[in-house]
Structure 1
Amino acid sequence: MIKHYHPAFGYWTVTDDLRVKWHLKINHKRVYRLMQANHLSAKVYNLRAGKYDSSKGPQGKKAQNRLHRRFMTDRPLQKVVTDISEFRYGTMSMKERVYLSPFKDLYGGVILGYTITDRPLTSYVLAGLQQVINKRPNNLGYRMTIHSDQGIQYQSHAYRAALKKQHIFQSMSRRGNCYDNAAMESFFHTMKVEMYFTHHYATKAALIQAMETWIGYYNQKRDRHKLKGATPNAYWDSALKKIV
């Protein structure tokens, strides 16, 4: 009866699917027992394999850590996180790469903007940043903080100048400390488990189409237990309308 079961779905995700889409009154403990009995436990993948290192290259200016693992926020566009991750396609002997650079609002987890490119250049990060800025109302009433690692793109003069021009606080994790960007890493893990590790993409076009389709699904259709069954887009839109 589960509409979109995936090997990566845990029992909470399945419970929400049954409650919201099928209108069933069912306890999460019962779902857990049924999944265990039918060998439907979520599969775990190693995300560290092929991880992109954004710290290689000319160093710029680092920013202080303003986030300090304070991931909770009660308003949209207050705390945003970003990072870059690598996706591969092609044959086993000739693997090509594309890079995803998303910006995620910690309120609701919605992806505000992203770019997918052949090379992880600062210009593409700026393009994703502009998508975020376009979603920010002029009368928001508080400043946004965007947190990243110490990647060269985020240390660049162009990126720092763009944040300063928009009165956005910049925040960075310490080198070798990934915990402050755990929210972004969690998104990458979910995405790769659900659309990447279980499929082979022979061409760049096929991979990019799958990535874009999944991000659209994540924002607009993927119900989340933490959001009481709402999708990230619906949860985020509802909160923003109350502010502006």
Structure 2
Amino acid sequence: MSHKSVLKVMRRMGLECRIRRPNPYRKYSSYRDETGARAENLLNRDFTADRPWVKLGTDVTEFRVADGKAYPAPVYDMGSKEIVAWDVSRHPDMAQQRRLLAMLEEKLPEDADPIPHSD
């Protein structure tokens, strides 16, 4: 019998399953409600730039590796289409972000005033 048929019969009888298996595709969510001030949206989904060091984008991605997980964090220059700074860590923590910002600060030209973007 199809699981959909079983669910229809259960609904008609007013039965409800209290035990649910967790969704394997939704393991972790960092969303914790509206706890802090939201940054102003300066890019408005316009991810193009006419010259380098105007708009920078970054994100941390999780990869499974042989003995655990790895978290690469690149900084992408939307003008030159290059990765201008990057860090790979075993944990996505503030230490990784500090190293990433230190590497970016070394490469940042003195006259540059970029708009950073992260989701």
TM-score over 0.5 (shorter chain): yes
Deviation string 1:4-30 (CA, Å, 9 cap, x unpaired) is xxxxxxxxxxxxxxxxxxxxxxxxxxx
Is residue 124 from structure 1 mapped to residue 99 from structure 2 by the alignment? no
* CA distance 1:53–1:147, change in 2 (3 Å): farther
Please state which structure has a larger fraction of its residues in strand: 2
Q: Which residue of 1 aligns with 2:114?
A: 144
Q: Which amino acid aligns with 1:55?
A: S
- Percent identical pairs in the alignment equals 30
Q: Which residue of 1 aligns with 2:49?
A: 73
Matched-pair contact (CA < 8 Å) for 2:51–2:80: no
Q: Give unmatched runs, 5+ long, in structure 2.
A: 1-24
Q: 1:148 to 1:96 in 2, by over 3 A?
A: same
The match for 1:85 among 48, 53, 61 is 61
What is the TM-score normalised by the length of structure 2?
A: 0.67
> Could you tell me how far 1:136 is from its partner in structure 2?
1.4
Task: Give TM-score, length-normalised by structure 1.
Answer: 0.34
Q: Secondary structure at the match of 2:50?
A: coil
Residue 96 of structure 1 pairs with residue 68 of structure 2:
yes
Aligned Cα root-mean-square deviation (Å): 2.6
The 5 A counterparts of 1:9-28 are none
CA-to-aligned-CA distance 1:115-138 (integer Å, 9 cap, x gap): 111110022112112211211121
Runs (5+) with no aligned partner, structure 1: 1-49, 150-244
Q: Which 4+ residue blocks in structure 1 deviate beyond 3 angstroms?
A: 50-54, 56-61
Structure number with larger C-alpha Rg: 2
Specify the alignment match of 1:32 in structure 2.
none
